[in-house]
Amino acid sequence: MTHRIAVIPGDGIGKEVMPEGVRALQAAAERFGIALELAPFDFASCDYYAEHGQMLPDDWFEILKEFDAIFYGAVGWPETVPDHVSLWGSLLQFRRRFDQYINLRPCRLLPGIKSPLANRQPGDIDFYVVRENTEGEYSSVGGRMFEGTEREVVIQETVMTRHGTDRVLKFAYELAQSRPRRKLTSATKSNGIAITMPWWDERVAEMGRHYPEVAVDQFHIDILTANFVMHPDWFDVVVASNLFGDILSDLGPACTGTIGVAPSANINPEGTFPSLFEPVHGSAPDIAGRGIANPIGQIWSAAMMLEHLGHQEVSVAIVAAFEAVLAEGDEGVLTPDIGGRGTTEILGRAIAERIIGQV
């Protein structure tokens, strides 16, 4: 079976880290005998916008829906296209139209990378944030009245549906069940947000009845953020609504060091539509063009993509490969953001060689 993958580098360092993501993918495919068909596309970038006046071709949905997954770099070049135009015109279209209702981010302290939290070692921080990606607090229900007058009123409603909540909870429980610790933490705020959040808690408890082996706890979002910093070792899988998950999925990876290594997945678990895998970082205009961007966020995203496509052992091998290269700590190989003098390509090649050379 051949996996068909759409490859979209996007803008800035997206174009520099993507070749290393592809190199790792091809190394893994060769090493483990997986058939991959990689199809590159130049749309969903600001260069495409400059030429065509839009971020995507009119038939993008028809083109991309045929793929098994989308491998994405980064979008954004604020000098030429405003960020809300480039983001809404590309990534957010994919997330919505392909119903990628899970946003998944691993938060894991890697060897050789210093956590901004004091005295934390690899193994101390190793959890996932599962964010609801389609509804909740980010709704378009609401409006303004009496604009510009003393009576000005503004309302934006949180929208939580049983369908939308239960499916993200199910995914989170399944993930927790598949991990050794079998622990799920729910982000709530049922003391202050006294209608939707007690209901969210009820749905967490209800879904939990199907997963008796998973230990569940919950924290209000305010103390939960504090505990991410003070006790990151408490967590295994953390599930959250769209807003809370947005905050936690930036805070979690931040606790593990550089943004350059963090990956993310936007998943449609049923596979009705392709899921999308991308580094957490953006196009980094400040370092773009210099060939020094860290490619590990892109490479780790490739590992998540292969796991989603059913190749768990290959995913593990890719992660082991970059962990081994990081652990060696060769300054000539590592990129400057993690204390080295190497380049995107040097680090990418070292990781690909390690993938192929693994026993």
Query: What are the residues binding ligand NAI (CB under 6 A)?
Result: 13, 17, 74-76, 78, 83, 87, 91, 259-260, 278, 281-287, 293-294, 297, 337
Please say whether the beta carbons of 113 and 125 come within 8 A. Answer: no
Dig out the tokens for 60 from the structure: 């993008």
Please say whether the beta carbons of 187 and 218 come within 8 A. Answer: yes
Q: What are phi and psi of 42, to 5 degrees?
A: -95, -5
Of residues 315 and 344, the one with the C-beta less far from ligand NAI: 344
Q: In the bound complex, what is the minimum distance in angstroms from residue 336's beta carbon to ligand NAI? A: 7
Write out the binding residues for Mg ion, residues 207-246 only, by CB under 5 A.
Answer: 246
Q: In the bound complex, what is the minimum distance in angstroms from residue 145's beta carbon to ligand NAI? A: 31
Query: What letter would DSSP give residue 234?
Result: G
Name 127's bridge partners.
Answer: 107
Sketch the per residue contact string, 107 through 146, with Mg ion: x for CB under 5 A, - otherwise: ----------------------------------------
**Residue found under tokens 């768990």:** 312
Dig out the tokens for 33 from the structure: 């005998």
- Per partner kind, with CB cut-offs from 5 to 8 A, the member of ligand NAI, Mg ion, none near residue 260 is ligand NAI
Q: In the bound complex, what is the minimum distance in angstroms from residue 320's beta carbon to ligand NAI? A: 21
Distance, CA of 322 to CA of 111 (rounded, Å): 9
Q: In the bound complex, what is the minimum distance in angstroms from residue 61's beta carbon to ligand NAI? A: 19
Of residues 87 and 215, the one with the C-beta less far from Mg ion: 87
Q: In the bound complex, what is the minimum distance in angstroms from residue 248's beta carbon to Mg ion? A: 10
Q: What are phi and psi of 32, to 5 degrees?
A: -110, 5
Of residues 29 and 74, the one with the C-beta less far from ligand NAI: 74
Q: In the bound complex, what is the minimum distance in angstroms from residue 282's beta carbon to Mg ion? A: 10
- Residues in CB range of 211: below 8 A, 6 or more apart: 173, 174, 176, 177
Of residues 164 and 279, the one with the C-beta less far from ligand NAI: 279
Q: In the bound complex, what is the minimum distance in angstroms from residue 279's beta carbon to Mg ion? A: 13
Dig out the tokens for 96 from the structure: 């919505």
Distance, CA of 237 to CA of 210 (rounded, Å): 17
Of residues 250 and 353, the one with the C-beta less far from Mg ion: 250
CA distances from 215 to 163, 165, 181, 208, 218 (A): 23, 19, 9, 9, 10
Sketch the per residue contact string, 164 through 183, with Mg ion: x for CB under 5 A, - otherwise: --------------------
Of residues 137 and 246, the one with the C-beta less far from Mg ion: 246
- Residues in CB range of 195: below 8 A, 6 or more apart: none
Q: In the bound complex, what is the minimum distance in angstroms from residue 273's beta carbon to Mg ion? A: 22
Sketch the per residue contact string, 277 through 296, with Mg ion: x for CB under 5 A, - otherwise: --------------------
E strands present in the chain: 2-10, 35-40, 69-74, 102-108, 126-132, 142-145, 153-156, 183-188, 215-220, 237-240, 263-267, 275-279
Q: Which of 71, 10, 95 is CA-nearest to residue 45?
A: 10
Of residues 64 and 184, the one with the C-beta less far from ligand NAI: 64
Of residues 260 and 342, the one with the C-beta less far from Mg ion: 260
Residues that bind Mg ion (CB under 5 A): 246, 250
